[in-house]
Amino acid sequence: MTALVQTRKFHAQVISRAGQKAHLAGMKVGTIAYNHDELTMPAIETFALAKHYNIGFWRKRRKDALKSLTLTVEEGEVFGYLGPNGAGKTTTLRLLMGLVYPSAGSARILGKALDDPAMKAQIGFLPEQPYFYDHLTPKELLTYYAQLSGVPGKDRARKVDASLARVGMSESAGIQMRKFSKGMLQRVGIAQAIVHDPKLIFLDEPMSGLDPVGRREVRDLIQSLHEEGKTIFFSTHILSDAETVCDRVAVLNKGELRGVGVVADLVSEVSGQVEFVWTGAAATAEIAALGGKTHEASETFRTILTQEATDRAIDAIRGAGGKLISVTPVRATLEDYFLSKLGAGDRDSQNMQEVTR
Amino acid sequence: MIGRLWAIAYSTFREAVRDRVLYNLIVFALLIVGAALLVGQISIGIERLVLVNLGLTSISLFGIVIAIFIGIGLVSKEIEKRTLYTVLAARPVRRWEFIIGKFLGLVGTLTVNAFFMSAGFFAALLYLTHRFQRADADLLVAIYFILLQFVLITSLALFFSTFSSPLLSAVFAFSLFVIGTFADDMRGFAKLTEGGTKWVMTGMSYLVPNFSSLNVISQVAHSVPVPGHLVLLNTLYVLAYAVAVNCAAVLVFEKRNLK
Ligand SMILES: Nc1ncnc2c1ncn2[C@@H]1O[C@H](COP(=O)(O)OP(=O)(O)OP(=O)(O)O)[C@@H](O)[C@H]1O
Ligand SMILES: [Mg+2]
């Protein structure tokens, strides 16, 4: 069993990397060829999925919450769905969950239609800012949900306790939820998403409302679910959270997909810069000739240049009598990628500020 | 499916209980005890008449009010508070199961509530008349009809709740209840009119929920027996009406974007 899961994960990863390269090369993700056997069935597929709302009471205006999303998430992946406020992340999740109906396009989860009950028994969902029946205790709520999800009576109590323990809510399991803080509700929300041991878990901003410790716990939880072979699709606008746990991410802005890929690849795609640190001579003129600017701090000099200039810069610094201490490629963060995808400096800057906050 | 319907129905019941709905029983108990003591003192002969009228009317009205108050929020409140997300989104629960589960839960709540009220009512009756008589069996029929009224009003309130706000739903449901209590009068009035008006009035009188035929309280208070065929007809009528309204509720709810 473990061996199977292992191969499966490996397989999925190879495929997803291949698929992702193809996408970056400009191909539509939906058209990537994968073996249509059981093992590599994608966890989530969307085909030109779109949703618009008509807003305004008298004069209806059309608001495109999601424009033609084509995306594939493989089984076993942790997939980050990134975008600034109003990008359409929640809309996508509501569409996938069958809560709202698409204006165009379609989607499949675990190879099934979105309203297939057999598929629904195998997925879990944490909504944005979850709210529950506040006259119930977490234990009662989860027992109810386990029952709805078809967990057999004899396993229910055990699974409820286990999932509450997993989110650190065992001690509050018997308190009515009207007395809960936002972070506690968020934890109960995560517990209800995993109580029935689903294969595929959707989380809409799982870290929101949590303190730093809580965020790390959620990150660890995602990691451990991943190790159990589960697929996780989660939205966030907090890039560092995504960066640490995701196999792949998609970046969405204003309802449009701006990029999909493995975090490491996306990040290297953006940077291409190298940092030089040396002592001895400033070599200001030489560096300036290469298009850089020298910074000095306690007799140590530092500059950042493009990758191509590396050799010439090393020669220049040595030639000027400098002694090199380090030459390091600048590791771009997901944030850099994000900003580059959102079109730096233009009218999106307001969104970016919220994103980089 | 049965398991899920039961789970949803039971959670509806539990929510009503936690919201202290059953406290109405205390008010009812005070009312009926007070009435029994009072009537017991003043008159001979009409104690039964007074107590039956008062008791059964209270059982009916208390239930109708509760049905409307809870029914109007059953769906709209869950959409608004988004409690529905974690019930419907990632669980093998179909939207119709949610509606029917809610319906059964509220009817169940009202039945339990009516059961306790009836028990109190019969106790008070026994206290007044010292022993049950033959005609008291018909009181059970009257109570059964009251339960049928609950089925009607619950399905209507739930239906409105699938597409309008609680306040509007309450107005709709209550208006229909009031009009429905005059359904028989409407039918009689239709007979007196001519041509187009007659058609419209007759149609209307059949379309509105017929609460008047379900009200046999004054009849049984006067110990007039309820004919057997009325029991059958009323049962069939309510079944058909509730099925139709519930279907409409499901159709509306299936189409809705739950945002
Ligand atoms: N019910 C609705 N009616 C009208 N417009 C809506 C509705 N729901 C969402 N929108 C619009 O669709 C766009 C996308 O919203 P969505 O909630 O999907 O964003 P999001 O990416 O989840 O943002 P956030 O990070 O703030 O949660 C927004 O511009 C929003 O105004
Ligand atoms: Mg959102």
* Ligand 2 midpoint to CA B204 (Å): 47
Closest chain B CA to residue A199? B90
List strands edge to edge, sheet with A323-330. Answer: A295-297, A300-306, A273-279, A323-330
Most confident residue range from A255-259, A329-333, B168-172: B168-172
Verify whether ligand 1 is closer than 6 Å to residue A46 (CB atom): no
Say if residue B186's pLDDT is above 90: no
Q: Do the chains contact at B90 and A132, CB–CB below 8 Å?
A: no
Closest chain B CA to residue A176? B18
Other CB atoms within 10 Å distance of the CB of residue A278: 24
Say if residue A185's pLDDT is above 50: yes
Token pair for B9:
């129905």
CATH number for region A3-26+74-99+115-265: 3.40.50.300
Residue to test with chain A: of B86, B88, B100, B257, most A Cβ within 10 A: B86
Instruction: Note whether A325 contacts B: Cβ–Cβ < 8 A.
Output: no
Query: What mean pLDDT comes out for the span A310-329?
Result: 85
Nearest CA to ligand 1 atom 4: A53
- Give me the residue label for tokens 């994608």: A42
Verify whether ligand 1 is closer than 6 Å to residue A91 (CB atom): yes
Give the pLDDT of residue A268: 65
Q: Do the chains contact at B89 and A125, CB–CB below 8 Å?
A: yes
Decide if B241 contacts B149 (C-beta within 8 A): no
Decide if A313 contacts A290 (C-beta within 8 A): yes
Terminal-to-terminal C-alpha distance of chain B: 25
Give the pLDDT of residue A354: 39
Range of the domain at B171: 2-255
Q: Indicate the pLDDT class of residue B224, thresholds 50, 70 and 90.
A: confident
pLDDT digits (tens, 9 = 90+) for B59-118: 999 999 999 999 999 999 999 888 999 999 999 999 999 999 999 999 999 999 999 999
Residues of B in contact with A136 (CB under 8 A): 14, 18
Give the pLDDT of residue A341: 67
Q: What is the 3-state secondary structure (H, E, C) of chain B?
A: CHHHHHHHHHHHHHHHHHCCHHHHHHHHHHHHHHHHHHHHHHCCCCHHHHHHHHHHHHHHHHHHHHHHHHHCCCCHHHHHHCCCHHHHCCCCCCHHHHHHHHHHHHHHHHHHHHHHHHHHHHHHHHHHHCCCCHHHHHHHHHHHHHHHHHHHHHHHHHHHHCCCCHHHHHHHHHHHHHHHHCHHHHHHHHHHCCHHHHHHHHHHHHHCCCCCCCCCHHHHHCCCCCCHHHHHHHHHHHHHHHHHHHHHHHHHHHHCCCC
Backbone angles phi, psi at A346, to 5 degrees: -90, -155
Token pair for B175:
């208006």
Token pair for B141:
């029929």
Say if residue A81's pLDDT is above 60: yes
Instruction: Note whether A149 contacts B: Cβ–Cβ < 8 A.
Output: yes
Decide if A242 contacts A269 (C-beta within 8 A): no
Q: Is the dihedral angle over the CA atoms B81, B83, B88, B89 positive or is it negative?
A: positive
Say if residue A192's pLDDT is above 50: yes
Verify whether ligand 1 is closer than 6 Å to residue A63 (CB atom): yes
The phi-psi region of residue B86 (left if phi > 0; otherwise alpha if psi is between -120 and 50; otherwise beta) is alpha
Q: Do the chains contact at B89 and A100, CB–CB below 8 Å?
A: no
| ipTM summary value | 0.88
Task: State CA A306 to chain mean position distance.
Answer: 29
Residues of chain A with CATH 3.30.70.1150: 270-331
Instruction: Note whether A124 contacts B: Cβ–Cβ < 8 A.
Output: yes
Instruction: Indicate which atom in ligand 1 lies nearest the CA of residue A93.
Output: 18
Nearest Cα of chain B lies from the Cα of A160 at a distance, in angstroms, of 15
What's the mean per-residue pLDDT of chain B? 89
Q: Indicate the pLDDT class of residue A264, thresholds 50, 70 and 90.
A: confident
Token pair for B227:
């004919």
Closest chain A CA to residue B79? A99
pTM: 0.81
CATH 1.10.10.10 fits A270-331, yes or no: no
Nearest Cα of chain A lies from the Cα of B241 at a distance, in angstroms, of 29
Q: Which of A49, A52, A60, A63 to mutate to test the pocket of ligand 1 (most atoms within 8 A of CB)?
A: A63
* Ligand 2 midpoint to CA A93 (Å): 9
Q: Do the chains contact at A145 and B11, CB–CB below 8 Å?
A: no
Q: Are strands A256-262 and A248-253 parallel, antiparallel or unpaired?
A: antiparallel
Nearest CA to ligand 1 atom 12: A65
- Give the Cα separation of A128 and A90 in Å (integer): 7
- Give the Cα separation of B168 and B173 in Å (integer): 9
Decide if B211 contacts B154 (C-beta within 8 A): no
Closest chain B CA to residue A99? B258
Nearest Cα of chain A lies from the Cα of B155 at a distance, in angstroms, of 22
Range with the lowest mean pLDDT among A112-116, A119-123, A328-332, B237-241? A328-332
Instruction: Indicate which atom in ligand 1 lies nearest the CA of residue A89.
Output: 21
Nearest Cα of chain B lies from the Cα of A302 at a distance, in angstroms, of 53
DSSP string of A198-264, one letter each residue: -SEEEEESTTTT--HHHHHHHHHHHHHHHHTT-EEEEEES-HHHHHHH-SEEEEEETTEEEEEEEHH
Nearest Cα of chain B lies from the Cα of A110 at a distance, in angstroms, of 13
Residues of A in contact with B90 (CB under 8 A): 97, 120, 123-125, 193, 198, 202
Of the two residues A264 and B102, the one the predictor is more confident about is B102
Range with the lowest mean pLDDT among A153-157, A342-346, A352-356? A352-356
- Give me the number of domains chain B comprises: 1
Burial A170-203 (b: 16+ CB within 10 A, else e): eebbeeebeebeeebbbbbbbbbbbbbbbbbbbb
pLDDT digits (tens, 9 = 90+) for B123-148: 988 888 888 887 788 899 999 999 99
Verify whether ligand 1 is closer than 6 Å to residue A28 (CB atom): no
Q: Indicate the pLDDT class of residue A331, thresholds 50, 70 and 90.
A: low
Q: Do the chains contact at A97 and B85, CB–CB below 8 Å?
A: yes
**Cα torsion at A132, A136, A142, A147 (round to 10°)?**
-100
Q: Indicate the pLDDT class of residue A212, thresholds 50, 70 and 90.
A: confident
